[in-house]
Amino acid sequence: MALGTYFCEMFIEDIAGMMVTVVIEMDVIPDMGIADAITASKVITSYYPNPFTNELYLCVRAPGAGDLQLSVYSLSGNLFHSWNERIAWPGEQTIRWDGMDKNGNMLPVGIYIIQISGKGFSDRVKVLRSAN
């Protein structure tokens, strides 16, 4: 396996019909093998629509007020866009992303990783931008 970070996303439905997303992250590092870290989505509680065409909404449970750093990456790790969102209070917030890169161009159809980071936390999800 080549060096890098790999992701696997699972959707689990409980008996009441509630969907939970679990992301498994595997880092392949030199001379160390694979380090597994199973991370349940704790910051990003949902995101819709997925697949999306022009707009994506991220529901975020912010642990406190402050700045969130949002980044959009390709599966190969190329950074397409990064911006900050100011969270004024803790709790559930909705953040809208227009599907644009840092130059204001609509990203092509494909799979992207959106990462949200803040003081002491980080979460990421995989989304699909479709043509329609």
Task: Please give the CATH architecture assigned to the domain spanning 43-132.
Answer: Sandwich (2.60)
Residue in the structure block whose two tokens are 């990421």: 124
| Domain residue extents for the chain | 1-40, 43-132
Task: Report the alpha-carbon distance of residue 22 to residue 74 in Å, rounded.
Answer: 19
pLDDT in tens, the chain (132 residues): 666 777 777 777 777 787 777 777 776 655 433 333 444 447 888 999 999 999 999 999 887 788 899 999 998 888 999 999 988 888 888 999 999 999 999 999 999 999 998 887 888 999 999 987
Q: What is the pLDDT of residue 115?
A: 92
Report the candidate in 85, 106, 100, 98 with the shortest Cα–Cα distance to residue 43: 85
Task: Give the global pTM.
Answer: 0.66
Q: What is the DSSP string of 74-120?
A: ETT--EEEEEEEEE-SSEEEEEEE-SB-TTSPBPPSEEEEEEEEETT
**Integer-rounded Cα radius of gyration of the chain:** 15
Task: State the Cα–Cα distance between residues 50 and 92, nearest whole angstrom.
Answer: 19
